[in-house]
Amino acid sequence: MHHFEQADLLKRLPEQFFAKLVQKVQKLANEGHDIINLGQGNPDLPTPEHIVEELRVASIDPQNHKYSPFRGQPFLKEAIAAFYKREYDVDVDPQTEVAVLFGAKTGLVEISQCLLNAGDLALVPDPGYPDYMSGIAMANADIALMPLKAEHDFLPDYSAIPTNELDRAKLMFLNYPNNPTAGIATKTFFDETIALANKHQICVVHDFAYGAIGFDGEKPQSFLQSEGAKDIGIEMYTLSKTYNMAGWRVGFAVGNKSVIESINLIQDHLYVSLFSGIQHAAAKALLGDQQSVGELVQTYQARRDKFIQRLYDIGWQVEAPKGTFFAWLPVPEGYTSEEFADLLLEKAHVVVAPGNGFGESGEGYVRLGLLDHEDRLVEAAERIGSLGIF
Ligand SMILES: Cc1ncc(COP(=O)(O)O)c(C=O)c1O
């Protein structure tokens, strides 16, 4: 068999850090161990019934069996605009300021190809969601990391970025509530971001994947709620977390017209839009009963409270996350992130994600997902406690 060489584009792609971890977990699971997997970010609860029902009905309609319009169904884009108005009191024009995405992941990878030429610079949070890097690598562009530190509330310290980098940068990725640190952003921070981006002509891409998940009654801030945001950037949203629809692949970008046009243009060449049945269900999710969203946030908050309390009891004294379904926890002294994650896996059969997998500033932390039942989270804490480390 002939071996066909990969194109340079594929060779540039960053290594999938967590692939190794998945293998180790699989090996232990195959040996029959009872593994508690808190290492991933896959919502564990089902999509609300009324959304599933909408798909069931829409899937029968032959109208939906045809190609959908290239740039998404107008009714979905109108639903997205209505959602932003209702949730954030932000006006977006459904025709020109909304792009439908195959999940936020696709948009976050495409955006670099839309805006960056080879050798251009993008500012990326460290630690951060790995897919930003994938898109930048495909565009053959350069990366400048913005460290997210606890002492700076896991927000980038703009004053620490050298002026020449700011002048060179064309794109900046931000993500709040943040994966993996669970940090949250304030309106003041977004206002400052807009001022900086205007000064240096940087397009801001705010990844709002965890937009719905804020605790203790705090609703996370949308980037578009800040004055001038649409002039200098976009926000990407996904139905994956808000409505437990990770498998459905529905996301969207809203904001700056020129950027939205670029996303739509690249997608004209890559795809026809999502199955129209799914677009109907997505519109139902955005416009229908929102009770499930409140209940989901309450569920994550209750899990957080139980879990963090239990960690306290075993002597791992950590701060409770204010948003997302992750806990970003400092590892005890004497361990690297990977050593500690390996220890928990091998001795407690608890899977956590080592923080350095999200970037070098993630060293010294592990990320745990609150994505299992309360009693399993409590058991994970107890298994960790029985190692006697704390
Ligand atoms: C920060 C962040 N952005 C984007 C995504 C991708 O979301 P989607 O399912 O819409 O592709 C995730 C999913 O884990 C995420 O954690």
pLDDT in tens, 288-339: 999 999 999 999 999 999 999 999 999 998 999 999 999 999 999 999 999 9
361 and 269 together in one domain:
no
Q: Does ligand 1 come within 6 angstroms of the Cβ of 103?
A: yes
Q: Identify whether residues 238 and 133 lie together within a single domain.
A: yes
In a domain, residue 1? The reply is no
Tens of pLDDT, residues 73-120: 999 999 999 999 999 999 999 999 999 999 999 999 999 999 999 999
Residue 75's pLDDT is what? 98
Is residue 286 over pLDDT 90?
yes
- CATH code where residue 319 lies: 3.90.1150.10
304 contacts 328 by C-beta, under 8 angstroms: no
Show the tokens assigned to 233.
């950037």
The amino acid sitting at 267 is Q
Q: Is the CB of 238 under 6 A from ligand 1?
A: yes
| Side-chain-side CA neighbours of residue 298 (13 Å) | 5
Regarding whether 355 and 209 lie in a shared domain, the answer is: no
Query: How many Cβ atoms are within 10 Å of 189's Cβ, its own excluded?
Result: 20
**C-alpha count within 13 angstroms, C-beta hemisphere, residue 30:** 6
pLDDT digits (tens, 9 = 90+) for 171-197: 999 999 999 999 999 999 999 999 999
How open is the CA angle 129-157-176, to the nearest 5 degrees? 40
Q: Is residue 125 part of a domain?
A: yes
- Tell whether 42 is covered by a domain: yes
Q: What's the confidence (pLDDT) of residue 180?
A: 97
Tokens representing 228 are: 């001038």
Atom 3 in ligand 1: residue holding the nearest Cα: 209
Domain-embedded: residue 35? yes
Both 238 and 169 in a single domain? Answer: yes
Asked if the structure places residue 3 within a domain, the reply is no
SS3 label, residue 360: helix
Sheet of 326-330: strands edge to edge? 326-330, 365-369, 353-354
- Judgement on whether residues 199 and 306 belong to the same structural domain of the protein: no
Domain count, the chain: 2
Domain stop point among 265, 287, 309:
287
Domain match, 99 and 14 both: no
Which DSSP string corresponds to 73-130? -HHHHHHHHHHHHHHH-----TTTSEEEESHHHHHHHHHHHHH--TT-EEEEEES--T
Q: Indicate whether residue 303 lines ligand 1 (CB < 6 A).
A: no
Confidence of residue 19 (pLDDT cuts 50, 70, 90): confident
Please give the number of the atom of ligand 1 that sits closest to the Cα of 178.
Answer: 1
Residue ranges making up the domain that contains 300: 8-47+291-385
Look at residue 259 and tell me whether its pLDDT is greater than 90: yes
Does residue 242's CB lie within 6 angstroms of at least one atom of ligand 1? no
Q: List the beta bridge partners of residue 323.
A: 214
Q: φ, ψ for residue 11 (rounded to 5)?
A: -70, -25
Q: Could you count the other beta carbons within 10 Å of the beta carbon of residue 7?
A: 8
Please give the angle made by the CA atoms of 259, 118 and 17, to the nearest 5 degrees: 90
Element housing 330 (H / E): strand 326-330
Atom of ligand 1 nearest to the CA of 179: 1
101 lines ligand 1 (CB under 6 A): no
140 shares its domain with 204: yes
- Does residue 305 lie within any of the structural domains? yes
Query: Ligand 1 within 6 A of 207 CB?
Result: yes
Q: Is 324 in the pocket of ligand 1 (CB under 6 A)?
A: no
- Among 242, 267, 287, where does a domain finish? 287
Do 128 and 257 belong to one domain?
A: yes
Q: Are residues 41 and 59 in the same domain?
A: no
List the residue whose alpha carbon is closest to atom 2 of ligand 1: 209
One domain for residues 33 and 114: no
Residue 390 lies in a domain: no
Domain end (from 287, 319, 338): 287
Q: What is the largest CA-CA distance in the chain?
A: 62
Average pLDDT over residues 23-39: 93
Which of 238, 248, 371 maximizes ligand 1 atoms within 8 Å of its Cβ, making it the mutation to test the pocket?
A: 238
Average confidence (pLDDT) over 234-246: 98
Does 21 have pLDDT greater than 90?
A: no
Q: Reading across the β-sheet that carries 233-238, which strands appear in turn?
A: 98-101, 251-255, 233-238, 203-207, 169-175, 121-126, 142-147
Q: Which atom of ligand 1 is nearest to the CA of 250?
A: 10
Q: Is the pLDDT of residue 18 over 90?
A: no
Residue 175 beta carbon below 6 angstroms from any ligand 1 atom:
yes
What's the CATH code of the domain at 267?
3.40.640.10
Per-residue model confidence (pLDDT) at position 379: 97
Ligand 1 proximity of 260 Cβ (cutoff 6 Å)? no
Question: Structure tokens of 98?
Answer: 């909304």
Distance CA 187, CA 100 (A): 26
Contact status, residue 210 vs residue 222, Cβ threshold 8 Å: no
Helices first, then strands: H and E counts in the chain: 15, 12
- Is ligand 1 within 6 A of the CB of residue 251? yes
Looking at the structure, tell me whether residues 130 and 97 fall in a common domain.
Answer: yes
Q: Are residues 70 and 19 in the same domain?
A: no
> Ligand 1, closest atom to CA 41?
14
Query: Which pLDDT value is given to residue 20?
Result: 82
Residue 2 lies in a domain: no
